[in-house]
Amino acid sequence: MGTTETEHTEETGSNHLLADLDWCLAQASENQRGALWRSTEPGRQLDAALVRVPSGAAVPEHTEPDDDVLLLVVAGQGTLHTDTGRVALATHTLTWLPRGTRRSITAGPGGLAYLTVRRAARRSMCLELPSDPDLLARLEEREEQTEGGEPACMLPRLCPTCGAPTSGPTPPICPVCNTAWTA
């Protein structure tokens, strides 16, 4: 396969190839880290990412408080560290991380690449305003009377690379896409 993107038709919801993970890995440099590919299909209910961790590098400890995560190793080896102990990761091992699991990952000598899958970011962060101008005006008037001030902005709590939200302090590395969280 020479591409990682395929056509998607929302109307049909048709099955289609999302990515050739071997091709994505072959295109990455030896020291490249972070997400090499991400699911981007509109209307999806799952988020997936192919993540590469170079030899000896680590993904810092983090927690996904709301969602279970599946982690499928597609290349290399490493170690998953959790509160309950260590799990050896090797090609084709599949690990389930229940929501709330604190974890970190250390890549082995040849590096590590894994596919992570979790529930897609919830739409609750996006407001859908009414299209009727009169209804919108009444809503805005009511908000000004009852709310006061400007609405809270979630942007500082969203990963600048993939848009994943954080529920606590800003992490040094995004737990979803494994890229550095820059302010």
DSSP at 132 = -
C-alpha to C-alpha distances, 149 to 116, 125, 153, nearest whole angstrom = 39, 19, 12
- pLDDT, tens digit (0-9, with 9 covering 90-100), for 40-68: 888 888 899 999 999 989 999 888 888 89
Amino acid at 7: E
| Partner residues linked to 88 by β-bridges | 79
Calculate the CA dihedral of residues 48, 50, 56, 60 and round it to 10 degrees: -20
What is the percent of the chain with per-residue pLDDT over 90, rounded to a whole number? Answer: 35
Q: Which domains does the chain have, with CATH numbers?
A: 21-121 (2.60.120.10)
Instruction: Check if the beta carbon of residue 125 is closer than 8 Å to that of residue 163.
Output: no
**Looking at the predicted structure, is the pLDDT value of residue 114 above 80?**
yes
Mean pLDDT of the 17-33 span: 87
Q: What is the pLDDT of residue 88?
A: 96
Whole-number pLDDT of residue 18: 85
Q: How many residues does the chain have?
A: 183
Note the pTM of the prediction, 2 decimals.
0.61
pLDDT tens sequence across 72-111: 999 999 999 999 999 999 999 999 999 999 999 999 999 9
Q: Confidence class of residue 124 from pLDDT cuts 50, 70 and 90?
A: very low
pLDDT tier for residue 115 given thresholds of 50, 70 and 90? very high
* Residues 6 or more apart in contact with residue 139 via CB below 8 angstroms: 129, 130
Short-list 73, 70, 95, 72, CA closest to 84: 95
Distance CA 109, CA 73 (A): 15
User: What does the pLDDT read at residue 9?
Assistant: 39
Tokens 């997400």 belong to which residue? 35
Q: How confident is the model at residue 169 (pLDDT cuts 50, 70, 90)?
A: confident
